[in-house]
Chain A
C-alpha cells in the first residue's frame, strides 16, 4: 500500500474534531514552521517536494507560490479552491467532510509562506453541510490558538473564512472563483495579469486546490525531499483518485503516482475489477474534460508500454493515443455503455456551465449538445459526426478560460476512438444500446 499522506487517519472516529486530530499529531507542522522556518523556507520545502496542483492543471505548487508579488504594499491572499465540480471528481469532499483540520493546517502553512493575513476557503454551494463542518473546525482552531492574533506567540496572525459558491462549475477556474468571491458573476478574467499579481480585490493572490493544501502539513513535517522521493519522474508524491462508474469498488484511493493503471482497475486493493464480470470498454481518467480512452489505450500506451497513473504516462502519445491525469476523477465504463449517450451528458454539462462570455464556447457547447442529442435519438447524419469535430476544433484554444477546451476534448476524443459507434447510431437511426 502506498504511503498515506492524505488518508492515513481518515477512518479514525471523530477525526473532524480538534481533540482527535491534535492527538494524532495534528498542527505539529504549524508549530514547526512558525518556530523554525521563515515564510520563504516554507515555500522552498514545497518547491523541493515537487508537489503539483491537484485540481487538474498539475502546475508545480512551489513555482506558483514563487510568482506572488511581494513588492507591493497591498495585502496578499491565499484562497482554497473547494469548488469541486468536475464530473467524476469527488475527492475534496472526502477531506473536507472527514478531515477538515488537515485542510486548515495546510491553509495556515500556505498563508504563512505567502504572507497572507486573511484567507478564504471557497466551497461549492451544494456542499453547505461540509461548509458547516469546516466552519466548526475553524472555530476550534481559533479557540486553540492556531488561528487569530499572534498564533502560538509567533507574531504571525491569520483569519480564515469559508465562502459558499452557488452552483457554477466555472467558479473552479481560479479567476472566476475570485470574481465570485468578490460577489460577482463567475466570469473568468483575461490573463495576464495572473492572480499572483492581480488577484482578489486586485491584490496578489494564490489559489490552490484542497488536495494540494492538505498535502502541505506532511511536506513540512517530513521535508520536501521526502515527498519527492515518492512517485515517479515529475509526478511526485501521492494522488487521490476518485473512481466511479462500472467498477466493483467505487471510492477514493490514495495512490503513489506511478501505479500501473491495470493494477488500479483490477486489484482488490483499489477498484476491484469491472462489475458483474463485464469487460472494460473505456475510461475517462482525469475528470470529464480529459480525452476518453478505449480499454487497450488506457491499459497500455500505443507503443505497448504499461500505462501508469502519472502525469507523464497518462499523457504519453499526446491526444492521439493518450489523455491526462487531470483531477484524478476516474470514470470507468463497461461494454454496456453507450459512448454517445455518455458524451451527450458531458456536452449538456458544459453547455449548462458555460459562463457565456466567449462566443465559441457559449454557442459551440449548445450546438454540440443539440447534434449529439440528434445522433443519440436516431436522427443524426454522417455529416453530423464531422460537424461535431469541426465545432470542437473551433472552440479549442479560442476562449478566455479552459472551459472551452474542457468541452471540446471529450467530443473530439470520443469520435477519434469510437467513430464506428457514432456511425452505427446514424445507420440504425437509433441508439444500439
Chain B
C-alpha cells in the first residue's frame, strides 16, 4: 500500500499513521466488504484535505477501498456532512429545525451572519469562516445548538456566540480535524 507522506499541496494521500487507522477500520467488516469503510474513510479524507472532498480525493479513497470512483461520488453526494466544494477553515453549522427555532436559533444565525458579513452557505473572503445551516442535531433540550467540527455548543445566546467567535478568531480555529483522534 502507498505510504507517501501527506502533502496537501500536491495530493490527498494519507500518511502512514492515517493509513494504519484506515486498515484497522477495513478489518471491521467481512472479507470483500471493504466498501463498508467508505463513510468512515470519507470523514477522515475530508478532515485531512481542508474540509472538503475534491474529485482527486474521492479517486484516492476509491483506490484505497478498491472500488470505482463513481461509487465514492454517489455516496459523498448523498450525505450532507460531506462537502463537495471548498469551505472555510472553521465551518459553523447552526441548527434551524423546529425545536431550535422555538428557542431563537434564527437570532443566533443572524448574529453570526452580521458579525462575519456573510450569509449562510457563504465563506468569508479571508477563507477563515463558513456558515452553514443544518437540520436537527438531536440536542433539542439545550436549544439553540450549533456544531463546529466534532464539537457541539449548546444553550446558545448572542453573548455566547460572541465569545465563541472571538475565541475561534484568536486561535485561528480549524474545524476539520481527524474525527477519530
Contacts and interface: CB of A to CB of B under 8 A. Distances in A.
A345 B143 contact: no
A407 interface: no
Nearest to B75: A185
Contacts, number: 153
Interface string A73-102: 001000000001111111011000000000
Interface in A121-148: 124-129, 131-132
Contacts of B75: 183-185
B140 A164 contact: no
Nearest to A246: B102
Nearest to A341: B101
B101 A342 contact: yes
A61 interface: no
The number of chain A residues touching the other chain, given as a range, is 35 or more
A398 to B, nearest CB: 22
Contacts of A186: 78-79
A331 interface: yes
A333 interface: yes
Contacts of B55: none
A201 B34 CA distance: 12
Interface stretch (A237-245, A311-319, A386-394): A237-245
B141 A167 contact: no
Contacts of B139: 90, 93
A62 interface: no
A182 B80 contact: no
Contact of B97 (A166, A168, A337, A349): A349
Nearest to B40: A164
A342 B77 CA distance: 28
Given A85-B138, A90-B138, A251-B141, A183 B43 contact: no
B36 interface: yes
A209 B136 CA distance: 18
A337 B103 CA distance: 10
A252 B71 CA distance: 40
B83 to A, nearest CB: 11
Given A245-B99, A342-B101, A349-B97, A126 B40 contact: no
A165 interface: yes
B38 A183 contact: yes
Find the residue from A86, A168, A244, A352 having the highest chain B CB count within 10 A.
Answer: A244
A128 B180 CA distance: 8
A88 B150 contact: no
A423 interface: no
A248 interface: no
Contacts of B40: 163-164
B99 A243 contact: no
The 3 closest A-B pairs by CB, nearest first: A166-B79, A183-B38, A167-B81
